[in-house]
Structure 1
Amino acid sequence: MRRFEGYGVLITGAARGIGEATARRLTAEGARVLVADVDAESAAKTAGTLEGAESFRCDVRERAEAEAAVAYAVERFGSLDVLVNNAYACDPDASLFEDESDEVWAENLDTTLTGAFRCARAALPHLAASGRGAIVNIGSVNAEQSFGNHAYSAAKAGLASLTRTLAGHAAARGVRVNQINPGTVRTSAWSGREASLDAVSRVYPLGRVGEPEDIASAVAFLASADAAWITGTTLRVDGGLTAVNTAFSQAEREVRAQASTPAPAPARE
C-alpha cells in the first residue's frame, strides 16, 4: 500500500527513534521525506538508507532554521503535504522542585513546544496549498498523567492544546492537525537501561513497552487520507497504560487471592 505516493513530508527529530521509524514507514508508502535533525551527520546517515529521503540540519529552536527546512522540502519535493513535529528535549528532574533551573525549563519548552510552533507556522501556507495537508504532533502520556519530567510534561501538555487550537484555525484551509501520545517506547534514549524497560513493561496492560514502529503506524494513519475526517484529536498509543490502572488491579487480585485462601488450622499441642 502506497498511500503517500507523490507526497512531500518533513519530519523533525528524524535521525533516530520514532522520527526515523516514521521516515521509514512513509517512504515505504511512497513519500519523499526530509529527515530533519539537529544532528546533521546522523540525519544524513538515516536518509541515506531510505529511498526518496533527503536530510537537512535543523535546530527547531531557531526560527530561521525551521523556515529553511520547510523551504528546502518545498523546493526539493514540489510541495509539502505532511509535517511531523517529533523533535523534543527532556532533561531529568532535579531532586527537589525548588532546585529546577530556568535554563532546563526554557530549553525543554523551546524545543518541544515552541519548536513545533515554529515549524507549523512556516509549514501551514504550504500545507494549505497542497490540498491535503496534515500536521501530526508527537506528544506523550506525560501530557495526561504524572510520570515525572516537569518541563517536558508541561511542554507536551502545551503541545496538545496547540494541536486543538491550530486544528480549529487550519480546518477552513483544509489542513488537519492531530497528536499522538505514546507511552514508553524502546528508543536510544533508553540505552543502558534495558532493566528499567523490562520492569516498566509489567505495568502495561498489553505486556510490553512500545516500539518506534508502533508510533510510526499511527502517524501514517493520521497523516493519510484514511483519517480525512479526523482533526483536533489526541490519539493514545500507549499499550493501555492510561486507560487501565494495572497496579490497582494487581493489588485487588492479591487481596481476593488472600481472602480465598483457607485459614491455617489451629496449632495443637
Structure 2
Amino acid sequence: MTPRLDGYAALLTGAGQGIGAATARRLASEGAAVLVTDLDAGRAERTAAGIRGTGGTAESLACDVGDRAAVDAAVAHAVAVFGRLDVLVNNAYAYYDDDVALFEDEADEPWARTLDITLTGPHRCSRAALPHLVASGRGAIVNIGSVNGEQDFGGHAYSAAKAGLASLTRTLAGHAGPRGVRVNLVAPGTIRTDAWAGRDAELERAAALYPLGRVGEPDDIAAAVAFLASRDAAWITGTTLRVDGGLLAVNTAFRAAMTGDPESR
C-alpha cells in the first residue's frame, strides 16, 4: 500500500524535540519529505538525521518564528529543496511561568513574547506558506493548540495565545478553503515531553485526572497531525481536534469528589 503522504513535502516549526520531533518522524514514516525547523539548529539537525537514518527524507534549518525574514527563508528553502510544499505544522511556542502573585504585577515582556511566538508566529508561517499550499492542490495547515485555550489550567499569556490560535484556525479555514487549503488545530492535554523532565510525581498526579488513566505521549499528537495533514481528512477544516484523553469532556476530579472514591472514573 502506498504511504498516504507519499510525495508530500512538509515544514514543521519547533520540531527539534517533543511533539514537533515526533510529528516530523511520523510524517516522514508515512512518506513525506520534511523540513525540520527549530530555534536550535543542533536540535533540528538531530531530528532530521534520525529520520534519514531510518530511510526517510528530511532536511533541517534554524528558524525563529518571531523573525519574518527567517520564516520566509524557511518556506523558500522547503520549496527549493523539495520542489513543493503541501503541509505546514505550526508547533513552535513560548511559555513563561506566572511568577508573580498578582495579575496586575505581571510585566509586559513575557506576555508580548509569548503571544509573538505562540500566536503571531503561526500567522507569519501561514502567510508565507499559503501561496505554496494553494499551488500544491492539497495543502493543509495543522496548528498545535492546547486544552489551555479552552479551559483554565494556568498561564495567562500562553492560554490566551492558544485560544487566539484556535480562532485564527477557524478564520483562516474560511479564507483558505475556497483556495483548496484546509486548516485545523490539534489541542493536546498533558504530554510527556522534555518540559516535564524530572517531574514524574506531577505527571502521575495529572494522570489521575484523565479518564483514560494516563498522560499523553508525543506520538499521540503526531498521529492526529498526520491524519489531519492527509487526504483522509479531505473534508475536515476549521476544526479543533482534542487529543486530551477525555480531560475536557469528563470532570474526573469532580466525580471523584462526589463519590468519595479517588479511583472513580
Normalised to the residue count of structure 2, the TM-score between the two structures is 0.95
Shift of 1:98: 1.6
Instruction: Say which SS state the counterpart of residue 88 (structure 2) adopts.
Output: strand
Query: Runs of 5+ in structure 1 lacking a partner?
Result: 256-269
Matched, 1:243 2:243: no
Structure 1 residue 162, shift from structure 2 partner: 0.2
Residue type matched to 1:96 in 2?
L
- Partner Cα separation in structure 1 for residue 208 and residue 181 of structure 2: 39
Distance 1:90 1:157 in 2: 14
Count of equivalent residues: 255
Corresponding residue number in structure 2 for 1:258: none
Measured after TM superposition, the shift of residue 251 of structure 1 is 1.4
How is 1:1-269 mapped onto 2 (pairs within 5 angstroms)? 2-50=3-51, 51-94=56-99, 95-254=101-260
Q: Which runs of 5+ in 2 are unaligned?
A: none
- Distance in 1 separating the partners of 2:202 and 2:228: 31
Q: Deviations over 1:192-236 (max 9, x none)?
A: 111111111000000000000000000000000000000000000
Residue 149 (structure 1) shift: 0.6
Residues of 2 paired with 1:220 and 1:71: CA distance? 23
Moved over 3 A (4+): none
Give the corresponding residue for 1:262.
Answer: none
Counterparts of 2:141 and 2:65, CA distance in 1: 16
Deviation at 1:41? 0.7
Give the superposed CA RMSD.
0.8
Question: Aligned equivalents of 1:46 and 1:254: distance in 2?
Answer: 46
Between the aligned partners of 1:3 and 1:22, the Cα distance in structure 2 is 15
Percent identity reads 70
* Matched residue type, 1:182: P
Tell me what 1:263 maps to: none
| 1:134-178 CA-partner distances (Å, limit 9, x unpaired) | 000000000000000100000000000000000000011000000
Displacement of 1:101 in angstroms is 1.1
- Structure of larger gyration radius: 1
SS in 2 for 1:49: helix
AA at the equivalent of 1:29: E
Amino acid at match of 2:206: V
CA distance in 2, matches of 1:198, 1:232: 33
For the residues of structure 1 that align with 2:184 and 2:9, how far apart are their CA atoms?
A: 18
Q: Match for 1:194: what amino acid?
A: D
Match of 1:236, SS state, is strand
